[in-house]
Structures are given as C-alpha cells and as structure tokens.
Amino acid sequence: MAINLSKGSTISLEKVLPNLDAAFAGLGWDVGSDGASFDLDVSVMMLGSNGHLVSDKHFVFYNQKRSPESSPALELTGDNRTGEGDGDDEAIIMDLRKVDPAVEEILVCITIHEATARGQNFGMVSEAYVRLVNIATREEVLRYDLDAQFSNETAVVMAKFKRAGSSWSMTAVGEGYSGGLEGLVERYQ
C-alpha cells in the first residue's frame, strides 16, 4: 500500500524500500473540459550543492530525455501531448544508484508548453499527482496528490529527491512558478 505524502512532507526511501534498485516516477493530471488543447511536460533538474544545475546535460526534458551518465540514471519514457486517458501521463525511469556524485538534489517538475501563447495556467489543471513505483514489483510506494490551487503559475515543482550519503529521500514540494519551463531553467541555472 502506498504512503500518501502531503505538501512539505519528506520520507526516506531507504526506510520504505531499503532494497530499491530501480523505480519510476509517474505523473498524471487532468485538464479543463472546455476543449482547449493542453500539452504538459515533465522535466527533471539535477542540482549540485550550490542549488543549481550541475551542467546543461543534467537537465532532462522532452528534447534531452536521458541524464548524462554512461548508463543513464534518469530517462523520460515519452512525451504525452494531450494528457488524455487514465493513469500516468508521463514517467521517468530512475536508478538513483547511478546518479552522478555531483548531484545532491533532483527536482521533478511539470510545465505547460506554450502556456503564455495559449493563455493557460495550472488553475486549469486538476488531479495532478506524482507517484513513485518500484519497477521490480510494480507496486506504488509513495504518492503526492497536488492539492494547491494555482491561478497564474505555468510550472510546478512536484517533488524533490535529496541525497544524504548513499541514501535518498523524497519530499512533496507542490510549488508553483510563472515563466514556464524557461523560468524554471533560469531559476536553477
């Protein structure tokens, strides 16, 4: 049974899954029923001790789907451009054992593609969530359902994975930002 996180809560992955080898972070959402076309995208920022991207290659998104390690630690599984259907809309395969040693935090984000041009924001998005699933068992381990209401934000940091020695923790973040993907990149470059 999955542990449900609330905004700001943190849990040690070693405590809930001491032998976790690989997982995937699944993200999902629903959009308004007004017929407007939405394209939400998942991205991952791999930050160093200074709170900024270790390098441009440590930014995983729809145009750069793998992290830079020789055997990638993170990989996006695809780009769902409609969000239609049940279940996860986009996912990230994760093997935290392979993460570059320079990376201390991993941010999992959702942004609205071309939000400004389309007049869209996260106030028009509902039922957003992030969940961590053990690949070996297909069991959902952790889940965070975004419950915040955003009216102007075009980007949301959903979760943060933080390294402490050789172990990792996950925090439910749920912070909204304006400026979409570009704004997030500028903030963490």
Domains of the chain plus CATH, in order, are: 3-188 (2.60.60.30)
Least confident of 17-21, 31-35, 93-97, 135-139: 31-35
* Average pLDDT value for residue range 135-145: 88
> Number of C-alpha atoms within 13 angstroms, CB side, residue 156?
31
Residue bearing the bigger pLDDT, 25 or 105: 105
pLDDT at 67: 96
Query: Residue 29 CB: number of other CB atoms within 10 A?
Result: 22
Q: CA geometry: angle at 156 spanning 73 and 154, to 5°?
A: 125
pLDDT at 80: 59
* Average pLDDT value for residue range 163-173: 91
Sequence letter at residue 126: S
The model carries a pTM of 0.90
* Average pLDDT value for residue range 94-123: 91
CB 74 within 8 A of CB 58: no
* Residue 65 Cα distances to 14, 59, 60, 138, angstroms: 26, 9, 5, 22
